[in-house]
Structure 1
Amino acid sequence: MCLVQTPTSKNANIILFLIIITLFSSVSMIAANIAFMVADEIYQGVTVGDIHVGGLSVAQAEQVIASQFKERTAKAPITLIYKDQKWPIAAQDIGLSIQADKLAQQAYAVGRTGNIIYRLKERYLAVNQGHSLPLTVYYNQDKLYQILATIAKSIDCQPQNATVKSAGKSNIEIVPEVIGRKVDLAKTMAEVNANLNTKLTFTLDIFVDEIIPAVVAHDLEHIDGIIASYTTQFDPWDQNRTQNVLLAAKSINGILVRSGEVFSFNNIVGLRLAKYGYKEAPVYINGVLVPDWGGGVCQVSSTLYNAALLADLSIEERTAHFRPPGYVPLGQDATVADDQLDFKFKNTLPQNIYITSEVFGNQLVVNIFGKHMENSAEIYVVAADKKVLEPNTIIKQDPDLELGKEVVETEGQKGFQVSTYRIKKIDGKIVKKEFLASDEFLPVDRIVRVGSKIPPHQPRK
C-alpha cells in the first residue's frame, strides 16, 4: 500500500520548518544579547568620532580617548588654508579640550538604554553597521572668532577699478583692476565648528568671496586718448573754497560713463556737508553772496560741463548761476545745489568714456577719455547775442542822515543776456550749429541813501 503526501500536509511541513528556524534564530539572538549584557564592555562597532572603543571597558575607553586627544592635539589640530597660505591653530589657542570620562560613559550606554526592543536593535546595528557618537569637544568660541577675524584682515582687500593713466593726448596706459576679497567669517566659523564635532585634526579651506570692481580693463579697452579737456583757475589762498574744489574734483575723478548712460553730478559727488569735509565758502543765495557749505563746487560742475560740450555729449540738465562766475566765459557755467539743481549729461557716443579730474596748483583740469573717431568734427562753444543790462539807481530817503548827504548802500552790478551755441567744423567748415541755452543774469540795482534829516535851529549869537 502506497502513502501519498497531500499538498496540505506538504505546506504544513514547510511552515513547521520555518517556525523551527525562527525559534533557533531568536534563541541565538537572545543568547547573543544575553552574552552582550553579561560582558561589561562597550559593544563592538561603537566609535567616538573616529576613535574605535568597541570591546573596551569604560576605563579603557576613557584612557584611549584621552590618549588619542593628547597625541593628535600635540601639534596644531586645525590648519586653515587660503591659496598657498596656511594658518595653524593650536589647541591652547582656543582652549580645546574634551571630557574623556563622559564620552566613554556615552559609548558604554549604547544598547543599554531604552526598552528591550530598542536596546536589541541598537546592539544589532552597532555590531553590524557601526554606531558613531559625536566627539564632543569644548573650546572658547570668542577666541576662535578673534583668530579667524585676524586671519580675515590679512586676506581681505578692497576692489580697485581699472584706471586710465595719461602721458599726453595720445599716449595712455590702462591699469588693470584689482579683484577684491572678503572672508566669509560666518561660513568659515560654522565649518570649523562642524569639523570639531567629528574629528580632532583637520585642514579647512577658508571661504573667501571675490569682489569684482565696478570698472574692469575690458570696459576701457577701446579708449585710445583724450577726446576733450577743459581747464579753469581758482584762488588757492581761499582755503575753504579750495578744499571744496578738491573734494568735488576727487569725487568725479576716475568715473566711467558707459555708452547710453546718464551722468548725474549730484549722485556722484553726494551732499556737500560738513561731515564729508566740506567747508563754508561764498555762494549766491537769492542773489546775495553769503557763506554756505560747499561753496566752490560749482566750479567743478562748470568745468565738467565745458568738457562734456567739447566731447560732443548730450546735455540733459544744466542751470546757470544767479550771477555769472569769473572762471568760465559768460553763458558756459553750470550751477548745482544739494537736492535741488543738478548737472546731467548723457554719453551718446558708441563707446564708454572715462573722466579724470585733477588739481595742479591753482588749475582744475577735467579730461574726458574715449575713442578717437576718423573724420570727427572740431567742436567750439561760442557766445552770441550778448547784451548788457544796466542797473537802475534806487534813491532812498534816510531820515537819520543829514540833509543833502548821500551814502551808496549797494554799488550795483551790470546784468547780461547771452545765447550759447556748440559749433562743429570739419575741414574748417561749419557742419552743425547747435543751440545750447539763453541765459539772463539780472542786474543788481545801485542803491543810494539820501539824507532828509533837518538839522536843529541854531540860535543867533
Structure 2
Amino acid sequence: MRKYRTIKIIIVAAALLFFAGEIAYFVWARPVIAADVEAFRQMAYPNKAVNGVDVSGMTVEEISEVIEAVKQEYLKKQITLHLGNGRTYSFTMADFLPSFEQSGIAAARIVGADKELPYILQYLMLKGVYQATPVYINLRGDYDRESVEPLAERIAGECFQEKCPPQFSVENDQICLVSGKDGYSIDAGEIADALLSALEESAGTDSINIELAGTADPLSQKERMLETINTCISEFTTEYKAKSAKATNVENASAKIDNLILYPGESLSVDKAIQERTRANGYVYAPQFDNGRVVEGMGGGICQVCTTLYGSLLRAGIIPIERHPHSMVVTYVPIGLDAAIAKGYKDLVFENTLDYPICITAKAGGGKVTFKLWSNENALEGYRYEPASVRISSKRSESYLKKYLGEELVDTVRLSRDSYR
C-alpha cells in the first residue's frame, strides 16, 4: 500500500509543478516572449537574404531599398555576344526591358515569413534555438521574347555577308583587284533563343558571355587564288596593216580574249573563245590562206591573233595541247612559230600548266596586237623561256622552246616540225 501511495504523491507533485510552470509562463514568461516577438513583427527573421545580401532584422522599407539597389546593379550587368564572324555585341540587362516583382511586395513576403508560427517558436528563432525558414531571393527580371527579337533580327541583318569572289582585271596594264569576302549568316531565332536562355539564368552572375558560331560560307581555295596574280609573266607583239579589213578582225577577236582567266588545270580553245566568224559577232571579209592560196573569207586575219597568243604562251613555258601551222609561211613571225585557226580542223588549245591562275590580256590597235599573261611573280620559278626556229629549207622548219635559268640554258624542247606550201 505504501508503494502505491508514494506513486500517487509523485504524480500529484508533478502535476502541481506543471501547473505552477504554466502559471509562471502566463504570469511572467509569456509577456516577455510576446514583447520580443512583437518587436520583430515588422522585421525579417534570420535566414533571409536578397542576392546574397543579409536582410535579417530589416523592415519592409529597408528591404525595399536593398532590393532597389540590387535591381540597379542587376540592370548594369554586361552581356557580351561573340559571333563566329569575329563581331562582338555588348549590352546591359536594361537593354532587354526586364520586368520585376514590386520591391514592396517582395519585401513584405520576406518580412511575413514565419510570422504565422506560434509565438514560442518565433521566440526560439530569435534566440537561435529554432531555425527560421530560409528565404533567399535571387533577383532577376522576367523577359519577354518580343523585347529580344527586334535586337536579334538587327544583329542577324548586320552580320549577313553574301560570299563575294574576288574580282580581277587588268586595265591599261594596271592590275585591278577587288578582294573577295567570305559569306556569313546567323539565324535571328538562334540569337533570340541564346539571349533569352542566358537572361533567364542570369541571377548571381557578374557578366554573361554568349558564343554563337553561325554559318560560314568561305571562299574556296580556287577563288582565293585570283588574289595571287600580281605581275606580267610574259608578252608578245606582232604587227599588221592598220585601217584594213584584217585590222577589224584582229581587233575584234583580240577583244573576245581580253581579260580571260584560266585557273591551274583549266584549258582554252581559241576557236571557241573568239566565237563563230559571222557579221553578228563583229567579223568582216578579209584575205586569208586556204590550201596555199590567198582568198577572201569571213574573219580573215584572225590567225595573227592566234599566233600572237601562241608566242606569249611559249614565253610563259606553256606548250599547247593542239597547234597547227599555216598552209603558207607568214611574215609577222619566224617560220615555224605561227599558229593557224580554221573552223572544224585547226585550233589552238592549251592548258594552264602553272601552279597559279593566269589572266590573258589582249590589246590590238594602231597596227600592233599584244598578248600578255599575268600571274604570280613565282609562277615561272625563276626560269625564262625563249622560242626559236630553224629553217630546214625554204618551206620546212623545226621549232624549239629553250629554258634558261639566268643566262644558263638548262633545257630545250622541240615544239614542232612544219612544212609549208
Q: Could you tell me the TM-score, scaled by structure 1's length?
A: 0.45
Instruction: Name the one with the larger strand percent.
Output: 1
**Structure of larger gyration radius:** 2
Q: Could you tell me the TM-score, scaled by structure 2's length?
A: 0.49
